Structure 1
Amino acid sequence: MLDTTELTAAAERFADRLRAAPQSRLQRGAAAEGLALARELADRAQRAEFPGREPARLPDAGLFVVADQLVVAATDLAETLRTAPADTPGAEGALHEAVRLVREAEARAGL
């Protein structure tokens, strides 16, 4: 099993910064970065868990919910990767890619 702690910790850190950000910062793009990331992570989790099925799009639930959406999406992906069969090709690479995506989105959000 993969250790997905780094992914969930990075997502929690970004989410905490989103929660602490003033509304003006969220409106200037931080929330949009968080939502785009949450959607990407949710998409990856669904594709890994249900191959061949079109993923459902994560809705825009508003500025003040995006941090929670991010944590849920990251946790779903982490759990999907963690519980994947040991011989699943690319799981470790997918995990490292997801961590990179979180860090890059956080940097773009300017938090």
Structure 2
Amino acid sequence: MPGDRRIDVEQASAGRFPADPLTVFEEWDALRSWAAELDAAGAQAPAGPDGSVSPTPRQVFAIGLNYLDHAEEAGLAVPEPHRSSPSSPRPSPAPTRSCGCPAAALTGRPSWWW
């Protein structure tokens, strides 16, 4: 919906489109056609917190400021170097030691082999 309006698609479509986002994605073209002609004046849903509308999103888009030019182009402050970036030092983990486990029975190799 344009602006900050939200609707309950299941209610506004009289059950044609379910509230389950994964099912709605399977009927995306039909939903878009239906929504283009929707008069949602009476189907407004209460505003809630923004967040993921899908429990298992198919695509996730992110914006990163991995170059100085990106931060300047976006008009944002240059971020501090991250401790795990390749150009900055990062602490090495303490030495570790494996102990015997049932993996040897499955692989035929002792666990220290790894």
Report the TM-score range of the alignment, normalised by the length of the smaller protein: under 0.3
Please report the TM-score for the alignment, with normalisation by the length of structure 1.
0.24
Larger radius of gyration: 2
Higher relative contact order (CA 8 A, sep 6+): 1
Please report the TM-score for the alignment, with normalisation by the length of structure 2.
0.24
